[in-house]
Amino acid sequence: MSAAPPVSACTLFKITQAGRTLVGNHEDAWSTNARMRFVNGEQGEFGVLYFSHFNGSPLRQMRDQGGMNTAGLMFDGFSVPVTDLRPQPGKPGADVHALVSKAMRTCSTVDQVADLFLPFNLSRLNGGMWFFCDRNGNYLVVEADTLVTGSDAEYAIGNFRASQCTDPGAVPIERFQRGRRMLAAGPDTSLAYCTTLLDSMSVCRSKLGEGTLYSYLLDLNTGSVHLFFYHDFTHRVTFNLKDELAKGDHEQEVASLFPTNPEFERLLAYKTPMHQRWLFWLLLAIGAIALVSGIASLYRSLRWCWMKLRGRDPGYPLWSPLVAGAASAVVIFLVPTLLMIEGVFYFGLGDALDPLHPLLRYLPIMLGALCIPILISTFQHKVDTSLIARWGRVQAGSLVAFVALLFYWDLMLM
């Protein structure tokens, strides 16, 4: 059995031949700020190259996604489905990122990495895993409750739990399967072959030409790094880790090393709350307005019913708070979806909401329809200075802004 991976899956392969081990990896992400960080070790420690990136959401921070040290040990992280974990009684919890950092500074083999992780409860890693490989070709997969080791000459992995995958051929990631087929046909460690293999396992999607942010090929025996940017395998940057560390600790924007990439420029121009923090806070403000409006609409609906029961005229039609409340409810539902699920901006709302109910993808259309009577009522009461009327104008303005953003992200019809 193999666990179903996320749509935006990263892929990695390793090849060991004639005492030489190469690892190729793709970082599939919508980030715009990939960086390399070169850190010399303290006394008795190894120097390390780290690859990192993050998006602009205030909820995220720069994280090391992968790298290699001067002993020929590499690592990379993968997201995997969250699952029920095996009990780990008696083991203390641990900061997994701190363990990875310590492993890269102090370990040269995957056996040493396993000894470092084994005493700890790694349940905080649920939803992710780490892959390590050393210059001897041995590899280690660190999951939240399991350590998987191996020494296959050729190996590939993606966003699925290695410990639960009994049939790699059943993993539903086509580019992962393309890589496996190439490896099965007879691999070698030449730069030309590994570049072709990397290309075959990369992704370029139809929305903006987005997909693989960067790819690297690591020679764990020589410390050479071959770097490619944004699924363009016609341009390559090659450097040696020890030569870079000799320049002292430093950082480098990955994009700055390569010619202008039109597809990456389209990603940069596409504004989402994951890339622009001001958009994140704007959506949060729209959600807050909707919450206040929803509470006010509920109060006005109950007030209308109470006054009718007492034979008094409420002074406004019942449809007014009901429509405003319905619009608020849609916004309150959609805003967290947009702030927490990045894939909706590229695959549409259906990708995130269909598991709940397929009709939920049509909420933006429903919201657009609800806006019509709200805007008509706001225009009719444009000179009204009462608190209700003024707040109605605030709600109407926030709804117009929100619907405009949904149109911009092509979510009105998806």
Burial class (CB in 10 A: 0-12, 13-18, 19+), 90: exposed
- Which two tokens mark 95? 């900061």
In sequence order, the β-bridge partners of residue 250 are 38
Q: Which of 66, 11, 24 is nearest to 192 (CA)?
A: 24
What does the alpha-carbon distance between residue 292 and residue 298 come to, in Å, rounded to a whole number?
10
* pLDDT at 3 > cutoff 60: no
pLDDT digits (tens, 9 = 90+) for 233-250: 999 999 999 999 999 999
pLDDT digits (tens, 9 = 90+) for 163-222: 888 898 898 888 899 999 999 999 999 999 999 999 999 999 989 999 999 999 999 999
Using 50, 70 and 90 to split pLDDT, how confident is the model at 406? Answer: very high
What does the alpha-carbon distance between residue 297 and residue 326 come to, in Å, rounded to a whole number?
9
Which contacts qualify for 170-173: CB closer than 8 Å, 24 or more apart? 170/2, 171/2, 171/5, 172/4, 172/5, 173/5, 173/9, 173/11
The mean pLDDT value for 125-149 works out to 95
Using 50, 70 and 90 to split pLDDT, how confident is the model at 9? Answer: low
* pLDDT at 2 > cutoff 50: no
Between 14-23, 268-277, 329-338, 383-392, the lowest mean confidence (pLDDT) is in 383-392
Q: Which of 57, 125, 62 is nearest to 88 (CA)?
A: 125
CB half-sphere exposure, 258, CA atoms < 13 A: 27
pLDDT for the residue 379: 86
pLDDT for the residue 380: 84
Residue type at position 185: A
Matching residue, tokens 């296959």: 152
Residue 173, C-beta contacts closer than 8 angstroms, at least 6 positions apart:
5, 9, 11, 158, 159, 160
- Which two tokens mark 146? 């399991």
pLDDT digits (tens, 9 = 90+) for 261-287: 999 999 999 999 999 999 999 999 999
Region of 43 please: left (phi>0), alpha (psi -120 to 50) or beta.
Answer: beta
Using 50, 70 and 90 to split pLDDT, how confident is the model at 6? Answer: very low
Using 50, 70 and 90 to split pLDDT, how confident is the model at 351? Answer: confident
Q: Model's pTM, two decimal places?
A: 0.89
* pLDDT at 106 > cutoff 50: yes
The mean pLDDT value for 331-339 works out to 96
pLDDT for the residue 1: 34
pLDDT digits (tens, 9 = 90+) for 39-68: 999 999 999 999 999 877 887 788 899 999
What is the DSSP-derived secondary structure letter of residue 322? H
The mean pLDDT value for 98-123 works out to 96
* pLDDT at 129 > cutoff 90: yes
Q: Which of 23, 11, 12 is nearest to 221 (CA)?
A: 23
pLDDT for the residue 321: 93
